[in-house]
Amino acid sequence: MDKSQIYARLTDIFHDVFDDDSITVTPELSAKDVDGWDSLTHIRLILTVEKAFKVKFSTSEIGKLKNVGDLVNLIEAQAA
């Protein structure tokens, strides 16, 4: 799975989790850029991503994420 496929899938996930089809998923996108992205929504987002990509992240990996680009790199590494 390449980065463009990951971003396409993440776009669907973000639209569903945040119930907002106007979100544009970019590598720089972070919690401060999305209304309603709080700790509970973050957990829901991570669980949805893990299920969609059939991966499992450690707490330390999740804690190091700064933006969507970091998440994509993590997904790519785990899915390889």
57-79 pLDDT, tens digit per residue, is 999 999 999 999 999 999 999 98
For the chain, give the percent of residues with pLDDT over 90: 96
Chosen CATH of 3-79 out of 3.10.250.10, 1.10.1200.10, 1.10.274.100, 1.10.1060.10: 1.10.1200.10
16-41-12 Cα angle (round to 5) = 20
Domain range annotation of the chain? 3-79
Residue 80 reports pLDDT greater than 80: no
Tell me what the pLDDT averaged over the chain comes to: 96
Structure tokens at 37: 């992205």
In this prediction, residues 6-14 reach a mean pLDDT of: 98
DSSP reduced 3-state for 79: helix
21-37 pLDDT, tens digit per residue, is 999 999 999 999 999 99
Burial of 48 (0-12, 13-18, 19+ CB in 10 A): middle
Q: Which contiguous run of DSSP H or E holds residue 4?
A: helix 3-18
pTM metric for this prediction: 0.93
